[in-house]
Amino acid sequence: MASSTVLAQDNGDKESSDKSDSGSTNLVEMQKDSSNWLMWSGQYNGQRYSELDQITAENAGDLAPAWTFSTGVLRGHEGGPLVKGDTLYIHTPFPNKVFAIDLESHAIKWKYEPTQNPQVIPVMCCDTVNRGLAYGDGKIFLQQADTTLVALNADDGKVQWKSKNGDPSKGETATNAPLVIKDKVLTGISGGEFGVRGHLTAYNIDDGKMAWRAYSTGPDDSMMIDPENTINGITQEPVGKDTSLKSWEGDQWKIGGGTTWGWMTYDPELDLVYYGTGNPGTWNPTQRPGDNKYSMTIFARDPDTGEAKWLYQMTPHDEWDYDGVNEKILVDQEIDGEMRKLVVHFDRNGFAYTQDRTNGELLVAEKYDPAVNWATKVDMKTGRPQVVDEYSTSGKVGENVENICPAALGSKDQQPASYSPKTGLFYVPTNHVCMDYEPTKVDYTAGQPYVGATVAMYPGPNDITNPVKEPMENRMGTFIAYDATTGKIKWSVPERFSVWSGALATAGDVVFYGTLEGYLKAVDAKTGEELYSFKTPSGIIGNVNTWKYKGKQYIGVLSGIGGWAGIGMAAGLTDPNAGLGAVGGYKDLKNYTQLGGVMTVFALPDSVVEKTESDSDDEVASN
């Protein structure tokens, strides 16, 4: 039990790390213990599924807040808590504080308060969010907004090492959650709206030295692409030489975007890490002819060397800012009578992609919001979306292209989906938002915005598939259950605003998510029926996580309105076109919530837990 708080000074002193875990490779085994939550998704596979089943569809209605913790920071609270043993670790938006909290007393064991230049704030595209921490080798890893990757001793918060991953003066910042794989910690870079050239970088877990860096655009060697061995997921043939360079005009690849601010997953058996790249530099597609490879691309890489094993570009020559950074969920499911190792990705562009994760073969690509209209379908032979000319923005500088669905923030943005192996369904928090998009000419200056478009956002049409209740007018969000083997939506829960929270599925057949108004909701995994709802102090854009401590299952979520959807409130913006179009689209959000920064933890009452355990014991005995 903690008796006092230890303040971990931001002094950069290197201390000997805790080796009690016998190296980070133990994460493969440690992630199997559902009492803990050791990485952003709970497991390497990105499923955001827990084997904990104390909370069930029968008793979820009895949930209640157990305790709360104020972070002392406003603006958007994305990501979620990590739990190891008797300690919970939580982070904040800029200035990226880290707290270690004792699960017994709820006292602060230690906190880390980094010193960062506030000039980083205006360089961050869509609020000052941070998407979470990573654990490995007795360390907590934080990716600061100013691109500094920090390793903290998990026991006392002392700084083990720091590595600078970018340069904010050039528009490079960081918002992603790192991922520890064996003896390395992997991290990305933000800044696609500033002409940043994206990359994924691996650092040695012991000393923080760079192990490798793989760029998203440019020459093959800097992208760590082997033209004779890196496979094109569509053709199943080697990509060939200089495929990125050939897809850009001149040296535009140097400011080509393809940033890597999203989520990473890992398959220990195949030894491959999966991630996606963001939009190409400048939102005005007329200024960058070609496919702009390899923005908007799924990569599978060797985490030891960085070598690209296969890749697939989802939106060539992106014209709408449909970043491809959303999570890649790894599952084993049957398609056409054959068990396949799959990677499933719900892209910003409104299509859900099901691929063989061994080689990238495209198996299913379907819309997961019926409102999607910018393309009719994905051609399964070429892998290219079939663009509708009416909604193309290329060659239309100064022309306002209206009613494009989805909006730039996509049918789903960073908010990660979950998967239940019990139901075989994916549970997806989505945006139901459309836009008007006017490309404008823009010149590149290092460290200055390089957007080149004016965007207005608004609610999508009334289209909805298999709703579990009557949808409200001007709906901007839907929470869906999706079958990735068929591309079908099984049920839909309409929501007033975008569902910007990460989902959680559990063995108790309960799925959790949060709303922008601030409600933590529990629904039946099979039917979508609402089981529980509680309004937290601020809007929820954080991810719902779960753990077990002293025999009781807990649910934890951060509330704190912000992120792209809430940027108007978070940054005090009023121009409808500000926030890359989000301010006007979400103008009514202020009527439902206010700024905050609180983690709320939920659990069942002791009496319900005892009854649940007793009923479970009786069932086992009868069998």
Instruction: Give a yes or no: residue 56 inside a domain.
Output: yes
Q: What is the mean pLDDT of the chain?
A: 95
Coil vs helix vs strand at 467:
strand
Which is more confidently placed, 152 or 3? 152
Mean pLDDT of 155-165: 98
204 is in an annotated binding site: no
How many of the other CB atoms lie within 10 Å of CB of 526?
Answer: 16
Q: Are 63 and 144 contained in the same domain?
A: no
What local confidence, expressed as pLDDT, does residue 19 receive? Answer: 38
Instruction: Give a yes or no: residue 14 inside a domain.
Output: no
Mean pLDDT of 529-539: 98
* DSSP code of residue 375: E
Q: Are 57 and 128 contained in the same domain?
A: no
How many of the other CB atoms lie within 10 Å of CB of 163?
Answer: 18
What local confidence, expressed as pLDDT, does residue 509 receive? Answer: 98
Q: Are 90 and 196 contained in the same domain?
A: yes
Contact 341, 272 (CB under 8 A): no
What local confidence, expressed as pLDDT, does residue 613 receive? Answer: 81
What local confidence, expressed as pLDDT, does residue 8 receive? Answer: 54
Instruction: Give a yes or no: residue 134 inside a domain.
Output: yes
Token pair in block for residue 24: 């980070």
- 122 prior amide bond cis, ω within 30: no
Which is more confidently placed, 607 or 20? 607
List, in order, residues 6 or more apart from 571 with CB less than 8 Å away: 75, 127, 579
Boundary-marking domain end, from 208, 238, 262: 208
Does residue 564 surpass a pLDDT of 90? yes
What local confidence, expressed as pLDDT, does residue 25 receive? Answer: 56
Residue 159, domain CATH: 2.40.128.630
Mean pLDDT of 319-330: 98
Does residue 536 surpass a pLDDT of 90? yes
Token pair in block for residue 441: 């000419």
Boundary-marking domain end, from 208, 227, 250: 208
Instruction: Give a yes or no: residue 613 inside a domain.
Output: yes
Tens-digit pLDDT profile for residues 499-519: 999 999 999 999 999 999 999
DSSP string, 555-623: EEEEE---TTTTHHHHHT---TTTGGGHHHHTGGGGGT-----EEEEEE--HHHHHHHHHHHHHHHHH-
Total domain count, the chain? 2
Coil vs helix vs strand at 15:
coil
Does residue 196 surpass a pLDDT of 70? yes
What local confidence, expressed as pLDDT, does residue 244 receive? Answer: 98
390 is in an annotated binding site: no
175 is in an annotated binding site: yes
Q: Are 61 and 113 contained in the same domain?
A: no
Does residue 13 surpass a pLDDT of 70? no
DSSP string, 279-335: PPSSS-GGGS-S--TTSSEEEEE-TTT--EEEEEESSTT-SS-----S-EEEEEEEE
What local confidence, expressed as pLDDT, does residue 116 receive? Answer: 95
Mean pLDDT of 387-401: 98
Positions of E strands within 393-446: 401-404, 418-420, 425-431, 433-439
**What value does the CA radius of gyration of the chain take, rounded to a whole number of Å?**
23
List, in order, residues 6 or more apart from 292 with CB less than 8 Å away: 217, 247, 248, 256, 257, 280, 316, 317, 318
249 is in an annotated binding site: no
Boundary-marking domain end, from 159, 184, 208: 208
Exposure b/e, 376-414, CB count within 10 A at least 16 = b:
eebeeeebbbebeeebbbbebbeeebeebbbbbbbbbbb
Does residue 23 surpass a pLDDT of 70? no
384 is in an annotated binding site: no
Instruction: Give the residue numbers annotated as catalytic, written as ranges.
Output: 321
Q: Are 61 and 103 contained in the same domain?
A: no
What local confidence, expressed as pLDDT, does residue 95 receive? Answer: 97
Task: Provide the residue range defining the domain that includes 118.
Answer: 79-208
Does residue 1 surpass a pLDDT of 70? no
